[in-house]
């Protein structure tokens, strides 16, 4: 066995590619969610009687969704290439977004689709944690 084939067999883990595609798909939904949030709160943000702190708090969910979508788009190619830094950055960003969505779910914001975004975030985070723990697919028998 040559050194290049040994390295190739060690680095072959299709879960990185699955995570990259999942991150891109999640980015679409997160971007649409951020857009919907900003449309919903735009009149309150533009109002003159709204305090600065209130405006920032109104923007926070949309910024969180848009920021996570941007992070996922930026790191999808390195994640496809099984780069460790991309896995770490994507996992950290999506874990932070997931924790924020859990916080919003506990706060009980009525008539908002937080659960849908939380389920999508959790599925990607679980996949990324599995990769980080050493899960490999497909399993190759020697």
> Above pLDDT 90, what percent of the chain?
68
Non-local (6+) Cβ contacts of 69 within 8 A are 26, 27, 28, 30, 31, 34
Could you count the other beta carbons within 10 Å of the beta carbon of residue 67? Answer: 15
3-state secondary structure at position 131: helix
* pLDDT single digits (tens) 26-74: 999 999 999 999 998 888 888 777 788 888 988 999 999 999 999 999 9
Q: What is the pTM of this model?
A: 0.85
3-state secondary structure at position 110: coil
Which residue in this structure is represented by tokens 């405006």? 55
Cα distance between residue 127 and residue 91, in whole Å: 9
pLDDT band, very low/low/confident/very high, at 6 (cuts 50, 70, 90): very low
**CB 34 within 8 Å of CB 24:** no
> Above pLDDT 70, what percent of the chain?
91
Q: What is the DSSP letter of 102?
A: H
Which residue in this structure is represented by tokens 């971007």? 31
Q: Taking the mean position of all CA atoms in its chain, how far away is CA 112?
A: 19
3-state secondary structure at position 50: coil
Q: What dihedral do alpha carbons 46, 48, 50, 53 form, nearest 10°?
A: 80
For the residues 108-119, what does the mean pLDDT come to?
Answer: 89
């Amino acid at each position: 066995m040559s050194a290049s084939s040994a390295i190739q067999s060690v680095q072959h883990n299709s879960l990185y590619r699955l995570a990259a595609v999942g991150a891109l798909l999640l980015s679409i939904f997160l971007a649409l969610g951020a857009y919907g949030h900003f449309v919903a709160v735009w009149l309150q943000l533009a109002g003159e009687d709204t305090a600065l702190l209130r405006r920032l708090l109104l923007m926070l969910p949309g910024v969180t969704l848009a920021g996570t979508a941007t992070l996922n788009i930026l790191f999808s190619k390195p994640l496809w290439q099984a780069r460790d830094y991309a896995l770490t950055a994507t996992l950290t960003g999506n874990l932070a977004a997931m924790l924020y969505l859990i916080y919003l779910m506990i706060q009980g914001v009525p008539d908002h689709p937080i659960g849908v975004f939380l389920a999508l975030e959790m599925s990607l985070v679980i996949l990324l944690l599995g990769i980080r723990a050493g899960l490999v697919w497909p399993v190759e028998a020697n």
